[in-house]
Amino acid sequence: MDEEVDLLGDLNAEDDDGLGWSTLSDAREPANVRPGAFLLVGNRYGRAVVRVVAVDADGQVHFSILPGSVAKNRHLLGTTVA
Protein backbone atom coordinates (compact mmCIF):
# COMPACT_ATOMS: atom_id res chain seq x y z
CA MET A 1 0.00 0.00 0.00
CA ASP A 2 2.57 2.54 -1.02
CA GLU A 3 0.31 4.40 -3.44
CA GLU A 4 -0.59 7.90 -2.25
CA VAL A 5 -4.30 8.50 -1.69
CA ASP A 6 -6.18 11.36 -3.36
CA LEU A 7 -8.27 11.94 -0.25
CA LEU A 8 -7.45 10.91 3.30
CA GLY A 9 -10.48 9.27 4.89
CA ASP A 10 -11.81 6.57 7.18
CA LEU A 11 -13.62 4.08 4.96
CA ASN A 12 -15.81 3.04 7.92
CA ALA A 13 -17.13 6.56 8.60
CA GLU A 14 -20.62 7.21 7.21
CA ASP A 15 -22.82 10.28 7.00
CA ASP A 16 -26.56 10.26 7.74
CA ASP A 17 -27.28 8.93 4.23
CA GLY A 18 -24.90 5.98 4.55
CA LEU A 19 -22.24 7.54 2.30
CA GLY A 20 -18.58 7.75 3.18
CA TRP A 21 -17.27 11.19 4.00
CA SER A 22 -14.12 13.20 4.46
CA THR A 23 -13.16 16.86 4.17
CA LEU A 24 -11.77 18.82 1.26
CA SER A 25 -8.87 19.94 3.43
CA ASP A 26 -7.69 16.29 3.47
CA ALA A 27 -7.39 16.15 -0.33
CA ARG A 28 -4.03 15.98 -2.06
CA GLU A 29 -5.41 18.11 -4.94
CA PRO A 30 -8.69 19.76 -3.83
CA ALA A 31 -9.47 20.90 -7.40
CA ASN A 32 -9.82 17.23 -8.43
CA VAL A 33 -12.48 16.54 -5.81
CA ARG A 34 -15.81 17.17 -7.52
CA PRO A 35 -19.06 15.25 -7.98
CA GLY A 36 -18.63 12.31 -10.33
CA ALA A 37 -14.86 12.03 -9.86
CA PHE A 38 -13.28 8.68 -9.06
CA LEU A 39 -10.61 8.94 -6.37
CA LEU A 40 -8.41 6.72 -4.24
CA VAL A 41 -9.53 7.26 -0.63
CA GLY A 42 -8.25 5.77 2.58
CA ASN A 43 -5.62 5.77 5.27
CA ARG A 44 -3.03 3.37 6.68
CA TYR A 45 -5.76 0.83 7.48
CA GLY A 46 -7.28 0.50 4.02
CA ARG A 47 -7.91 2.07 0.65
CA ALA A 48 -10.67 1.97 -1.93
CA VAL A 49 -11.70 3.58 -5.18
CA VAL A 50 -14.73 5.81 -4.61
CA ARG A 51 -17.07 8.00 -6.64
CA VAL A 52 -17.59 11.49 -5.23
CA VAL A 53 -21.32 12.13 -4.80
CA ALA A 54 -21.26 15.69 -3.41
CA VAL A 55 -18.99 18.38 -2.03
CA ASP A 56 -20.72 20.67 0.47
CA ALA A 57 -20.06 24.39 0.74
CA ASP A 58 -18.34 23.78 4.09
CA GLY A 59 -15.87 21.36 2.44
CA GLN A 60 -17.40 18.06 3.47
CA VAL A 61 -16.95 15.42 0.74
CA HIS A 62 -19.51 12.61 0.39
CA PHE A 63 -18.62 9.49 -1.60
CA SER A 64 -19.73 5.97 -2.40
CA ILE A 65 -17.22 3.14 -2.21
CA LEU A 66 -17.02 1.01 -5.33
CA PRO A 67 -17.25 -2.76 -4.85
CA GLY A 68 -14.10 -4.72 -5.53
CA SER A 69 -10.42 -4.18 -4.99
CA VAL A 70 -8.34 -1.12 -5.79
CA ALA A 71 -6.61 -3.20 -8.49
CA LYS A 72 -9.96 -4.00 -10.13
CA ASN A 73 -11.04 -0.33 -10.15
CA ARG A 74 -7.68 1.39 -10.70
CA HIS A 75 -8.55 2.12 -14.36
CA LEU A 76 -11.27 4.54 -13.17
CA LEU A 77 -8.91 6.77 -11.18
CA GLY A 78 -8.61 10.25 -12.59
CA THR A 79 -11.85 10.04 -14.55
CA THR A 80 -15.17 11.77 -13.97
CA VAL A 81 -18.72 10.80 -14.90
CA ALA A 82 -21.83 12.92 -14.75
The whole-angstrom distance between residue 27's C-alpha and the CA centroid of its chain comes to 9
What number does CATH give the domain 7-69? 2.40.240
pLDDT band of residue 1 (cuts 50, 70, 90) is very low
The amino acid occupying position 48 is: A
Which residues fall within 8 angstroms of residue 45, CB to CB, at 6 or more apart? 10, 11
Q: Are 75 and 33 in contact (CB under 8 A)?
A: no
CA–CA distance from 36 to each of 32, 33, 45, 51, 67 (Å)? Answer: 10, 9, 25, 6, 16
**pLDDT single digits (tens) 18-54:** 999 999 999 999 999 999 999 999 999 999 999 999 9
**pLDDT single digits (tens) 53-65:** 999 999 999 999 9
